[in-house]
Chains A and B, each alone.
Chain A
Amino acid sequence: MELDKCLELLYAGQLLPEETLRALCFKLKEKLVNESNVVHISTPVTVVGDIHGQFHDLLEIFKIGGIVPNTNYLFLGDYVDRGLYSVETMSLLIVLKLRYPNRVHLLRGNHESRQITQSYGFYSECLNKYGGSTGVWQCFTDLFDFLVLCCIIDNELFCVHGGLSPNVQTIDQIRIIDRFREIPHDGAMADLVWSDPEDSGSESGNPNPASTVTHFQVSPRGAGYTFGRSVVEKFLQLNGMSRIYRAHQLCNEGYQVYFGGLVTTVWSAPNYCYRCGNKASILELYDKDHSYFNVFEEAPENKLLNSTGHTTNEAYLKEFFGESTESVDMFSDEYQMASASKRHVEYFL
């Protein structure tokens, strides 16, 4: 199938046939295998954080940020799981990357993994949407092994899904990682997609200044790291970078600034899991010194997702503008009564 035909279908919220997906994944793997672990790009570019299968919000991003190829995009990973449309989201990103390889860049997130996707929804979704066959999920997850780990913009902005690793002092150490594999529990590759900044600012009320986190610490979970300010400063200085952009952590405002701007989280899944009520943002980088957080809320389509199950624009428009005879004034008693009776009530004990 032609790529443009695929795009047309995907933008309309439709699924691609399994055979097509298989071919697309194969082609993209061929492309990605030649890329370094660390990709270099330049501004202007728009940085997008976690999407987590919220397909309509991805379309919303293209509406506010500009469509591909008119805008360059760098996605920081976590395309799948949790949301209801991981398959659509991933398919669209794959086709966009193939169609406009220099306009779209995809990093790997911790959810681009076989193990994680089995627990957090993507695996189940693939089975449901492709007749109980695991083939599609295998194609996708095999492709995930080829996604790159980091990106450097204008030679000084370091972008990664999670954060830093004690095993990585220099960017050259990232270049030599063998990335074509499942994300391990341990080591530089795991830390890059997993670790979090720990900002023990002065206002945290910590009575013991000596315990202020400035270096790497093991999480109380017994695995994984948090990294403090001094780690960041050292890394930036050693590698001639000025800032780090990453995703991986939910923030109500859509972004979160750490260490006086040295590290910034970009979060792009509004109303996360369809219930958090948070905002999301995309970061528009005009040049290395000028940027803008374009903050947005969930796409109006999302509000109807759970009730209708339709993903097509047509059904949505019908509902939204009251074309259907079933539709009534939302403020009327009748509407309230009817929707109350449809709402979930449980005789829990």
Chain B
Amino acid sequence: MDNRRIPKHGISMIQVNQAREAFAQTARARDPRIASNPRHQATAAPISNDIIPRVPPSPPRHKCNNPKNPSCPHCSAVIIPAPKATLPAEDTPSISIADWKVSTRKKPILNSKELEDWEVILGGLTLPEMIFGNSFVRIENEKTGWSLDFNALDALKAVKMEDSGIRVSYANKWINSKREQQRTSELDENSLQIGQHYDWTYTTNYKGTVRNGNCDKHFIQDDSLELPIDKLTRPDPILFYDDMILFEDELADNGISMINVKVRVMNERALVLSRFFLRVDGVLFRVYDTRVYVEFNESKVLREYKEHETDYKTVLGRQNSGPSKDPKAILRDSNWVVQQLPLLRRECETIQL
């Protein structure tokens, strides 16, 4: 940390903030009113809008591996990762059900040392603005050691090191005006070359990283398979939930490129959605979804991959909220956008462990 090198400046802001935090926590924890305030126990109902019917108590079969999570006497309470630890502490919430373990980790964006390392690993790819490189979602089968990870490094490895052919909306105008200047002035010849060739939209067909462990089985492709929508739309209590971004770049304010991963674990099954969302303003939209569905009792995993894409104008035309003053707000919502995009490609595969 920089402030260690220059001791004359006294206490750094970070230390002050940590001290504030620690003090506030202590102050709260010692407040006698807290000990005698049982009201909060009654508020454990999972989701505010009552979409979950009371479930008859079933024997507990999951184990919350994070001691910071609320204790769960096989309740229907939502168990989700503990709040971010503010003082340095390893924080990898997880849950185990039958042979399966689902864990997640959320960390800040990479620091400059890590960024340098990644640049070497990724062979000169100009890295996205925000990389949550130490975050991941992992599903593993504890019996066989088989696991499926979603992490930023592997997602970026799948970005092509070649020209995507996509240009920002005003690129032609820009280049032409530069050519004009070049003819009339001092700009040198090679100043109009595109420097490096990589896909600046960070489009990735990443479907997760498989580690086989002791298991010699592999995914078998079968596009006729479907996710069991009936089972997944049942309002079974969610025992574990997390939602994180792997990387994000605003394309120098020409739109957005990001991967978001969500996971929810119910008593019988788990679902992961890893979504690559791309909006190039004035040019196009892309949504590449990977869904991983695990049925715990059958030890079966289904992985579905879908590519959606269309041009910007089409999507903008679909938003018919009347003469809205802020028509672009909805273009930031990937759930709405994906419904407007045609499906270009779908793959499905399964593995039986």
Contacts and interface: CB of A to CB of B under 8 A. Distances in A.
Contacts of B1: 295
Interface string A173-212: 0000000000001110000001000100101111000000
Nearest to A334: B40
Given A220-B198, A345-B47, A330 B108 contact: no
Contacts of A344: 243
Nearest to A224: B252
Contact of B13 (A64, A124, A328, A348): A64
B144 to A, nearest CB: 27
Contact of A222 (B79, B174, B197): B174
A299 to B, nearest CB: 8
Contacts of A110: 253
Contact of A349 (B2, B108, B163, B232): B232
Contact of B44 (A226, A341, A347): A341
Interface in B42-91: 43-48, 51, 68-71, 77-80, 82-83
The interface size bin for chain B is 35 or more
A100 interface: no
Nearest to B108: A277
A249 interface: yes
Contacts of B344: none
A297 B40 contact: no
Given A330-B29, A336-B69, A345-B264, A218 B192 contact: yes
Interface in A239-296: 249-253, 256, 272, 275-279, 292-296
A293 B233 CA distance: 52
A186 B170 CA distance: 9
A222 B167 contact: yes
Given A118-B328, A120-B253, A345 B173 contact: no
Given A253-B2, A300-B20, A218 B253 contact: no
A52 to B, nearest CB: 11
* A110, A187, A218, A338 interface centre (most CB from chain B within 10 Å): A218
A110 B252 CA distance: 10
Interface in B109-138: 109-112, 115-116, 119-120, 123-124, 126, 129-130
Contacts of B9: 292, 294
B343 interface: no
Contacts of A194: 252
Contacts of A167: 181
Nearest to A119: B328
Interface string B226-256: 0101001101001001010100001111100
A238 to B, nearest CB: 13
A219 B200 contact: yes
B196 interface: yes
A118 B192 CA distance: 30
Nearest to B12: A295
Interface in B196-240: 196-200, 227, 229, 232-233, 235, 238
* B68, B120, B193, B195 interface centre (most CB from chain A within 10 Å): B195
B332 to A, nearest CB: 9
A329 interface: yes
A166 B119 CA distance: 27
B143 interface: no
Interface stretch (B31-39, B150-158, B295-303, B313-321): B31-39
Given A334-B41, A340-B77, A340-B79, A222 B326 contact: no
B14 A221 contact: no
A311 to B, nearest CB: 19
Nearest to B9: A292
B183 to A, nearest CB: 15
B193 to A, nearest CB: 7
A219 B195 contact: yes
Contact of A337 (B25, B27, B44): B44
A134 interface: yes
Contacts of A132: 325
A185 B173 contact: yes
Nearest to A162: B252
Contact of B119 (A123, A205, A293, A300): A205
Interface in B245-302: 245, 250-254, 262, 264, 271, 273, 281
Contact of A328 (B2, B28, B44): B28
Given A220-B194, A251-B112, A278-B109, A322 B129 contact: no
Interface of A: 60, 64, 110-111, 116, 118-120, 123-124, 127, 132, 134, 166-167, 185-187, 194, 198, 201, 203-206, 213, 215-224, 226, 249-253, 256, 272, 275-279, 292-297, 300, 320-322, 325, 327-349
Q: Nearest 10 CB-CB pairs, A to B?
A: A277-B108, A217-B195, A222-B171, A222-B167, A296-B13, A334-B40, A223-B174, A220-B200, A252-B111, A205-B120
15 contacts: A127-B326, A226-B195, A250-B109, A252-B110, A256-B112, A272-B130, A328-B34, A330-B28, A334-B38, A334-B41, A338-B40, A340-B78, A341-B48, A341-B78, A342-B48
Given A219-B200, A345-B78, 8 more contacts: A124-B326, A166-B187, A166-B191, A186-B177, A198-B195, A220-B164, A222-B172, A293-B2
Interface of B: 1-3, 6, 9, 12-14, 17, 20-21, 24-25, 27-29, 31, 33-34, 37-38, 40-41, 43-48, 51, 68-71, 77-80, 82-83, 107-112, 115-116, 119-120, 123-124, 126, 129-130, 163-164, 167-168, 170-175, 177-178, 181, 187-188, 190-200, 227, 229, 232-233, 235, 238, 241, 243, 245, 250-254, 262, 264, 271, 273, 281, 325-326, 328-329
